[in-house]
A and B are shown apart, each in its own frame.
Chain A
Amino acid sequence: MSVSDAYARVMPRILVIEDDIGTAREIAAELAGHGHDMTIARDGATGLDRATREGFDAITLDRMLPAVDGLEVVRILRERRITTPVLMISALSDVDERIAGLRAGGDDYLIKPFAPNEMAMRVEVLIRRHHDRADTMLLRAGDIELDLVRRTVHVAGEAVRLLHMEFRLLEFLMRNRGEVVSRRIIFEQVWGYYFDPGANLINVHIARLRKKLDRPGAPSAIQTIKGEGYRLDAG
């Protein structure tokens, strides 16, 4: 049993640091709906204090907070060697702000207003990535096997040749197997760009990957979840 499977058994604890109580409640309600145990902190100092003393699985952090600013909170957390993944949520859309947020130690950056399920997806991607970090170099989902060291992919024991970006796309989907990930998250995490390339672009990349992975007659390993994104079946 891998660590990432183990984390799914207990209820992950998430800290919401957000001064706007309405937004904080919405975040908490959405994540609670995804089976997370929620704690809310209304300002940076309290958030920092709780994040330091209690072991959370993830933190959502508003960028603009009274007294101690969001950037400062994440910077101090990292200084204290607390590696809890942090999703920074901000009304500031400037690319520089995103870079500043990630440089300070944030793991992902989401711009307000956001679709709540998109936010929940990002938190879950972060939690899985955090637990995955020291994981094995071999990923498995159903009959798909991805070797990160040899950079090979086998489907039902048969080798499949993937291009560089196809490999990275499959790796990302396998690391988040069983979970829905949006096109925007895929584009950001796999390609590393932060603009909206349109839904079609990601669709055709997924379609290419499917063509290489799927076997005639068998259902596709990658499911399209209408209005949300894609999910690779855990098998």
Chain B
Amino acid sequence: MLAEPLRFADIRRTSAFRLTAMLGATFAAGIVLLTGTIYLLTARELTDRSDRILADLAGRMLAVAPQALPARVRLETERAGSGLNYYGLLGSDGEPVAGMLRMPPSLRYDQPADIEDAGHGIGPIRLLAKRTDRGETLLVGRDITQIRDLRVRMLGILVWSGVAIAIGVGATAIGLSLGPLRRVRDLQAASRAIAEGHLERRMPLAGRHDELDQFADTVNAMVEDVGRTIAQVKGVTDAIAHDLRTPLTRVRANLHRIAQDDALAPDHRARLTQAVDDLDTVLERFAALLRISELEAGSRRAGFAAVDLGAIAASVADLYEPLAEDSGITLSFDCDPLPLHGDEKLLFEAVSNLVDNAIKFGRAGGHVRITTGGDAARWHLDVADDGPGIAADEREAVLRRFHRGSNAASAPGSGLGLSVVSAILGAHGLRLDLRDAQPGLIARITPAE
């Protein structure tokens, strides 16, 4: 069996990947929360400190005599060469008296606020406005670039650590998933081989005694049991076949020999011949039942090869064309190649049975068509007649009944024809559908779900 390549979609669905991704996401959320909290607390502390300093600076300015205040504001503005503190004094009419600061419209008295642009290229700053006894406005500002830098730095840390965590978690998740996924693939390959009838195959063990090993061990024990049971059933079937058929051969031969006796009364001979015929019917059904059970046991799958169902159907059409013509039925064939893994002789038998039925139960002077359709995944091969067909509810019953094999007494022939067909198709992972051809019946071979 060819190993299918590992796709990311398969890796993504593994428990290891999901668990690692989930743990990674939780870790990343923790990091965000932690970094965010540190930033918020630090920013608040720095702002509180700025506000205290601003209140202190404003208090000191307001303690200055009102007449000297403009000169003091100018002096402090000149002093504050470091660019850390800023001052401004506005008259009661709002016009600037001293300093570089102006009153932003959003600012309220006694409530310090962050101002992005306070004019003259100043900002961002924390700004406090105070009203003097003379109705003037004193503005005191303090640079907050430091706090802003802190925020940018914190964001940077968050983004880069996020990327690093995502890469780390992704790589770890993939690394942790690959091993188990490869093992699951090996287990799948082994289970497919077992399902195909290789009951001697076992699930591979890694020797780690982990959950996969435990599972494989359980399945192996089960396969061992199934193999033993099948071997026992096969042994019993063979024994039944041998022990019943050998004496039946003698009975049949004896009856046949007695029937050949010239001294025999004609009606006795007729009854003997009837007995031989009845015995043959019993034996045919017996053989059909044995075949069905053998096919359902799946032991033949080990001997499958590449075949073309379309070509098989063509050979069947060739074989049955004279019979159709003799029955006044036109047999038409239009099939595409249908490559399958299967047994040519068994599939030939299955298609033959369907074509034989279609001719037998079709309309005299009618048409039997063997066609293919659908696409590569959902193809179908139809054998359709235009005879009386079977009513919808009866169609299901026919299939069900055949499944149970309880129709053996009522149907003509061995009475197990469709059961053999179903068993053959089942062994190939195919199934039989009966549909309405309006008029007539379509027997459709299609891949099982």
Determine whether the beta carbon of B300 is less than 8 Å from that of A201.
no
> Contacts A93-B290, A94-B294, A116-B253 given: A204-B248 contact, CB under 8 Å?
no
B400 within 8 A of partner (CB) = no
> Contacts A92-B238, A111-B287 given: A198-B356 contact, CB under 8 Å?
yes
- Tell me the bound Cα distance from A207 to B327 in angstroms: 13
Contacts of A170-227 to chain B: CB distance below 8 A: 191, 193-198, 200-201, 204-205, 207-208
Which of the segments A18-26, A74-82, A122-130, A132-140 contacts the partner chain? A18-26
> Smallest Cβ distance from B249 to chain A, in angstroms?
3
What B residues does A191 contact at CB under 8 A? 319
What A residues does B322 contact at CB under 8 A? 204-205, 207-208
Cβ contact of A197, chosen from B280, B325, B356, cutoff 8 A: B356
B25 within 8 A of partner (CB) = no
Determine whether the beta carbon of B323 is less than 8 Å from that of A204.
yes
A112 within 8 A of partner (CB) = yes
In the complex, residue of chain A having the shortest beta-carbon distance to the beta carbon of B280: A115
- Tell me the bound Cα distance from A96 to B323 in angstroms: 29
- Tell me the bound Cα distance from A173 to B246 in angstroms: 31
What B residues does A113 contact at CB under 8 A? 245-246, 248-253, 279, 283
What B residues does A200 contact at CB under 8 A? 323, 326
Total interface residues in chain B, CB < 8 Å: 42
Determine whether the beta carbon of A201 is less than 8 Å from that of B242.
no
- Tell me the bound Cα distance from A22 to B284 in angstroms: 22
Total interface residues in chain A, CB < 8 Å: 34
> Smallest Cβ distance from A130 to chain B, in angstroms?
25
A95 within 8 A of partner (CB) = yes
Contacts of B343-399 to chain A: CB distance below 8 A: 343, 345-346, 348-349, 352, 356
B318 within 8 A of partner (CB) = yes
Determine whether the beta carbon of B242 is less than 8 Å from that of A197.
no
Query: C-beta contact mask, B295-306 vs A, less than 8 Å → 1, else 0?
Result: 000011001000
Cβ contact of A22, chosen from B250, B299, B413, cutoff 8 A: B250
- Tell me the bound Cα distance from A115 to B273 in angstroms: 12
B13 within 8 A of partner (CB) = no
In the complex, residue of chain B having the shortest beta-carbon distance to the beta carbon of A111: B287
A114 within 8 A of partner (CB) = yes
Most central of A93, A99, A196, A200 by chain B CB within 10 Å: A93
- Tell me the bound Cα distance from A4 to B349 in angstroms: 34
Determine whether the beta carbon of B349 is less than 8 Å from that of A193.
yes
> Contacts A201-B323, A204-B322 given: A23-B246 contact, CB under 8 Å?
yes
Cβ contact of A112, chosen from B245, B346, B356, cutoff 8 A: B245
Determine whether the beta carbon of B320 is less than 8 Å from that of A95.
no
Determine whether the beta carbon of A26 is less than 8 Å from that of B318.
no
What A residues does B246 contact at CB under 8 A? 20, 23, 91, 112-113
- Tell me the bound Cα distance from A96 to B241 in angstroms: 15
B44 within 8 A of partner (CB) = no
What A residues does B271 contact at CB under 8 A? none
Determine whether the beta carbon of B245 is less than 8 Å from that of A194.
no
In the complex, residue of chain B having the shortest beta-carbon distance to the beta carbon of A195: B349
In the complex, residue of chain A having the shortest beta-carbon distance to the beta carbon of B303: A96
A165 within 8 A of partner (CB) = yes
Determine whether the beta carbon of A26 is less than 8 Å from that of B349.
no
B49 within 8 A of partner (CB) = no
What B residues does A92 contact at CB under 8 A? 238, 241-242
A72 within 8 A of partner (CB) = no
Cβ contact of A116, chosen from B241, B256, B345, cutoff 8 A: B256
A37 within 8 A of partner (CB) = no
Determine whether the beta carbon of A26 is less than 8 Å from that of B253.
yes
B148 within 8 A of partner (CB) = no
In the complex, residue of chain B having the shortest beta-carbon distance to the beta carbon of A197: B352
A45 within 8 A of partner (CB) = no
B291 within 8 A of partner (CB) = yes
Can you list 25 A-B contacts (CB < 8 A)? Answer: A20-B250, A26-B249, A26-B250, A26-B257, A64-B238, A91-B241, A92-B238, A93-B290, A95-B345, A96-B303, A99-B303, A112-B249, A113-B245, A113-B253, A113-B283, A116-B253, A193-B345, A193-B349, A195-B349, A201-B319, A201-B320, A201-B323, A201-B356, A204-B322, A207-B326
Additional pairs, 16, CB under 8 Å, beyond known A113-B245, A195-B352:
A20-B250, A22-B247, A23-B246, A23-B249, A26-B253, A91-B241, A91-B245, A93-B291, A95-B291, A96-B294, A112-B245, A113-B283, A115-B280, A116-B257, A194-B345, A205-B322
Interface residues, chain B, with chain A CB atoms under 8 Å away: 238, 241-242, 244-254, 256-257, 279-280, 283-284, 287, 290-291, 294, 299-300, 303, 318-320, 322-323, 325-326, 343, 345-346, 348-349, 352, 356, 413
